[in-house]
Structure formats: C-alpha cells, structure tokens
Structure 1
Amino acid sequence: MNKTFEEAMDFRHACKVFDETKKISDEDMNYILEAGRKSPSSFGMEPWKFLVITNEELKAKLRPACWNQVQVTSCSHLVLVLAAIDAVKPEFGIVERKFKRRAMPQEKLDFYLGLYADHLKETLSSDENVYSWTARQTYIAAGNMMTAAGIKGIDSCPIEGYEKEKVEEILGLDTTKYQLSVVLPFGYRINEQSSQEREKLEDIVEFIN
C-alpha cells in the first residue's frame, strides 16, 4: 500500500543496511525513475542521465571506489546519477531540440537560444563550470526519486563519498558527455531503523511579510 507524501517523508532516511534478499519490482523501479525524469530543471534542459545497475559483479567493482560503503553492494538497484556536459552547450544542437519541444515560431526560438547562451555565458565557458551547474540540478531529480521510493516503502541513501574519477573510469564514461554526480542505492532496510530527527520548523523558517 502506497504511503502519503507526508508518510513517505517521515519514512525516508539514509538507509545504512539493505536486505540483500529483497529486490525492487520493475514496476516500482520505473515509478521511482519516472519521478526523476519528470523533475524540473533550469531552462527545461533535464541535464541528467540515470544508470541503473543490478549487475552484482559491477556493484562489487564499484564499491571500493565508493569508500567501501556496504550500501553499494547490498542494495537492490544502484542508480548512478550523471550530470550532462556537452548536451547543455548550444553548439551541439541538443539545446535547440529541447526548446523545440514547445511549439514556437522561429523568431521566439532564436530569442530563447540567444537568452540561454547570453545568460549562461560564464557557466558554459568550461566543462568544470558546466558540471557545477548541471550537478546541482541532478539533486532535484535525486530528491524526487528518494521521495517516490519512500511512497512505495522503498529505502534509499544518497552517497557523495566516492572517488569520482575512479568510478567514471570503471564505468568507461566519456566525461565530455556525462560526469558522476550522485551515487544513489535503493532497496529495503534489513530491520526497522529510526528516522533522523529534524530541526523544528520555527528554527529554520522565517516569514517576511
């Protein structure tokens, strides 16, 4: 039975121990991935790719490069969230194709392409700057996927503790196209684990009227 959004938020925590005997169904995994696919992004560029790994040998190979964290091998599905590099550069044509998904006259399309290139002139000036921009956006997709998983009673654990270049090398990534942003295991907790306590709302929210 699906949880409500609020129940999913209370349920979700950074799961440290997954039950290796339990596997996520294709239906539930697609539900999680759809939440990532439909996530918002700057200019609607959707600058991400999701590698879904269930191959146990590959997971074992990746684990040492992820600070030997057990979640990498004990999870049901290991999702590597990649940040796009070349795909957000106007000269590669993908930006124009994505703008064209919304029907508009050529004059308006040219305006948006010019606005995009001008607004992001500094951002697009180097792959390092591009990665900084696109990687931040992948966290929107990752957050939505973790909440979607929580709705299905599925656990997750976002991991930044990894050796980026080693993981990319193991995967054989062309880093001019995509670079690793988040390691995101999904599975089922091996036993009931208490959710992390959060700060009180009044301590982190200030209303300005």
Structure 2
Amino acid sequence: MKENNFETILKGRRSVRNYDSSVKISKEEMSEMLAEATLAPSSVNMQPWRFVVAESVEAKAKLKPLIRFNTLQNETSSAMILIFGDMKCYELAEEIYGQAVAEGKMPEEVKNQQLESIVPYYKGFSAEKMNDVIKIDGGLAAMQLMLVARAHGYDTNPIGGFEQDQLAAAFDMDPDRYEPVMILSIGKALEPGYESVRLPIEKITEWK
C-alpha cells in the first residue's frame, strides 16, 4: 500500500546502505516508480535522463569494481539504478513534442516553433554546457525517484562515488553520449539510515 502523506515521505527519507537482500522489486513496480520519477521537470521538457536498472547477479558483478566503497548497497539492494544524461537528448524532440500534440497538450504550430528554435539551440551547446543541463535535469529526476521510492515503501541511497569515466562503457552505452549523473541503490531497508542535521535557514538564505 502506498504512503500518501507527503510530510511522512519527505521527513522519513534516509540514505540507507544495508537492505533486505531477499526483497526483489518487480519489473512492473520498478517501471511504475521510474514513470513517476520522470514527471520531474526538465529544461524545455527534453527529458535527458536515461536509466539502467542493474538487478541481476551479472550486472551487479560488473558494477562492483566501479563503485569504490559502496559495495554493501550493491550486494544487498534490490537494484542499483544507474542514471545517465543523454548529451543528444534533442534527437527525441520530435517524438516528445509530437506526443504532446497528439494528446492535445500542444498546438501543432507551437510544436513547429519549438523544434525550429530549441533543437538548433541545443545543438549549439558546448559539451560543458550540455553536461550542466543534463546533470541538473538528471538530479531532479533522481531526487523525485528517491521520494517516489519512499511512497512505495522502499529506501534509497544516492551514490556519487564511482568510476564515472568507466560506467557507460561497462554497460554497453556510448560514453561520448551518455554522461553518468549518479547511482541510486534501492530496496527494503534492513537497517534504518542515520538521521542527519541541516543548517538553519537563517544561515543559508538572504532576504532582499
């Protein structure tokens, strides 16, 4: 049964590193959670996030030498979700905006205007600029997925400590096109995550 209380979801999220390895999340439920996560916003709705769900023994074995000190999550989680950003995400612009037209969410003329302006604009980005865009958008999807997982009764751990220059190629993805954003472990917590503190708003906010 899903948790629908947002405050419970938000305040109950922890970074969990040790999971009940007997719990496997079905492909159907994982797909549902990913679909909910991708309701996150992205720049001009270009949705540059791409996911690899590493859940098999073989995939986790391939991942193990690339995740440094994060092996417990790899060994016990239901899955390790590899989140990449697509440096050529604009190649799906026609499909994205075409779907919006088909569903009555965008007029045809707006679609054409968007394609004429946005696609050349994106193609003109430097690699550094595109990297910034997909990392921000991918981070939004990752955060949403962490909260979605909580709603489904699971926990997660965002992982940045991995061999970023090797991850894409290890999972048969073009490393020039797909840039790693982060890895999320996901599963049923065996041990609760630690509570943590946050700086007071007065220290990190300026009112003008």
TM-score of the alignment, normalized to the shorter chain, above 0.5: yes
1:200 equivalent in structure 2: 200
2:65 equivalent in structure 1: 64
Q: What CA RMSD, in Å, does the superposition of the two structures yield over aligned residues?
A: 2.3
Shift of 1:154: 0.8
Q: Supply the AA of the counterpart residue of 1:109.
A: K
> In the TM superposition, what are the counterparts of 1:17-36 in structure 2 within 5 Å?
17-36=18-37
Q: Are 2:47 and 1:46 equivalent residues in the alignment?
A: yes
State the alpha-carbon separation in 1 of the partners of residues 95 and 24 from structure 2. 37
1:137 equivalent in structure 2: 137
State the alpha-carbon separation in 2 of the partners of residues 18 and 96 from structure 1. 41
Q: Supply the AA of the counterpart residue of 1:2.
A: K
8 Å CA contact 1:168–1:179 kept in 2: the answer is: yes
**Does 199-208 or 10-19 show the bigger shift?**
199-208
- TM-score w.r.t. structure 2 length? 0.83
- TM-score w.r.t. structure 1 length? 0.83
Structure 1 consecutive aligned stretches of length 4 or more whose deviation exceeds 6 Å: none
Q: Are 2:92 and 1:82 equivalent residues in the alignment?
A: no
8 Å CA contact 1:31–1:148 kept in 2: the answer is: no
Q: For structure 1, list consecutive stretches of 5 or more residues without a partner in the other structure.
A: none
2:182 equivalent in structure 1: 182
State the alpha-carbon separation in 2 of the partners of residues 99 and 27 from structure 1. 26
Shift of 1:119: 4.8
Alignment partner of 1:158: what SS? strand
Percent identity reads 25
8 Å CA contact 2:68–2:162 kept in 1: the answer is: yes
1:109 equivalent in structure 2: 111
8 Å CA contact 2:154–2:187 kept in 1: the answer is: yes
8 Å CA contact 1:81–1:142 kept in 2: the answer is: yes
State the alpha-carbon separation in 2 of the partners of residues 120 and 31 from structure 1. 30
Q: Cα 1:10–1:28, aligned 2, differ >3 Å: closer, same or farther?
A: farther
Shift of 1:62: 0.9
Q: Cα 1:202–1:31, aligned 2, differ >3 Å: closer, same or farther?
A: farther
State the alpha-carbon separation in 1 of the partners of residues 120 and 207 from structure 2. 34
> In the TM superposition, what are the counterparts of 1:149-168 in structure 2 within 5 Å?
149-168=149-168
State the alpha-carbon separation in 2 of the partners of residues 100 and 186 from structure 1. 33
State the alpha-carbon separation in 2 of the partners of residues 7 and 144 from structure 1. 15
Q: For structure 2, list consecutive stretches of 5 or more residues without a partner in the other structure.
A: 102-106
State the alpha-carbon separation in 1 of the partners of residues 168 and 147 from structure 2. 26
1:97 equivalent in structure 2: 95
State the alpha-carbon separation in 2 of the partners of residues 156 and 135 from structure 1. 19
Deviations 1:65-98 (A, max 9, x none): 111412122211111111112232xxx4x22332
Q: How many residues were matched structurally?
A: 201
